[in-house]
Amino acid sequence: MPSPLFKFFEVVAEELCSQESRVLTRSNLQVNEEQAPLLDDLRRELSASSTEKAMRLATQELKNHFKGKGSPLPFDYNPQDGRFTAVDTDFLNFVKAMKEIRTLRDKSRDFECGVAERLARRATGSIHRVGDPRDVRRTRVDFNDYLQTLGFDGPVLRRGRGDGGFDILWLLPVGTIPHRPIVSVQCKNSEFNVGDADKSVAAGRRSFSKHGGLQPQVHVPCVLFNDYICPENLPESLTQKQMDSYPSA
C-alpha cells in the first residue's frame, strides 16, 4: 500500500484535477468533524509538530523524490497560505486516472497504454506497446513477424497468443537494429509484489534469447507497478541493484 507520503500526493493530485489552484487545510481532508487520518499518519511519518509543518515537509520530500527521477514535482505549494497550484495538469490527470484503475484486472491494458503514452512523451528512441491483447497484430505469426523488425531473428511466441513476457519495448537511441539495446517495461496494474516481478523478468529473458543482435543480458528488464514502492515495503534480501529494476509508478 502507498505510504502516507504518497497517499498525500495522490490526494493533492486529485484535488488539483478539479481545481488548478486551491487551499488545502486539515478541515478539507477530514473524514468527519474530528478525524483526518491521512494527515495524522503524515505527521507521525515526518515527525511534524503540526499539520502545516507536515504539509511543508511532505512537499519537500516529494520534490526530492521527483528530482531523483529527473522530473519536477507537478504542483507548487505556498506554505504561507496553504495553497497548492498545478504545474503539470496532464500528469496530475494521469495520476488520478491510474489510481482509479489500480488493481482492476480488466484495466490492465489501460495501464499499459497509459504508461506507453507517458513514456513516449519523455523518452528518446522508439516506444512499442506489444502487450496482449493487441489491436493490429493479433495473431502469433503477425506478432513474431513484427518483432523481427525490432531485431529478433527467431519466433518469440511458438504457440498460443500471449505476449512472450513483453508489454512495452523501448528501443534506445543507440546503435542500429539489430544492434540496438532494448528496455523491456512490464506493466503490473497492481500493488508491488516481488514474486510477480521476478516471474515477469524471467519470461522476458526467455524472449530476449531470440534476439539476433545482442545477448539477453545487454537488454534491460523493468517491471512497473501501479503503486509506490518504498524501501520499507521491500524484502530485506532485495539488493539496491534489484530494487532499481522495480521502479515505482
- pLDDT value of residue 39: 85
Give the 3-state secondary structure percentages of the chain, helix then strand then coil, rounded to 5. 45, 15, 40
Res 234: pLDDT: 66
- Cβ proximity of 172 and 183 under 8 Å: yes
**Average predicted confidence (pLDDT) for the chain:** 87
Which pTM does this prediction carry? 0.85
- Pick the closest to residue 234 from 84, 61, 77, 223 (CA basis): 223
**Which tens digits make up the pLDDT trace of 72-114?**
999 999 999 889 999 999 999 999 999 999 999 999 999 999 9
Report how far apart, in Å, the C-alpha atoms of 217 and of each of 100, 170, 177, 208 are.
Answer: 36, 15, 17, 9
Task: Give the integer Cα–Cα distance in Å for 79 and 54.
Answer: 10
pLDDT tens per residue, range 134-154: 888 888 899 999 999 999 998
Query: Is it true that the peptide bond before 2 is cis, omega within 30 degrees of 0?
Result: no
pLDDT at 129 over 60: yes
**In whole angstroms, what is the distance from residue 99 CA to residue 15 CA?**
13
Count the neighbouring beta carbons within 10 Å of the beta carbon of residue 68: 8
Domain locations along the chain: 4-93, 103-243
Least Cα distance to 209 among 162, 159, 165 occurs for 165
Tally of helices (H runs) and strands (E runs) in the chain:
8, 7
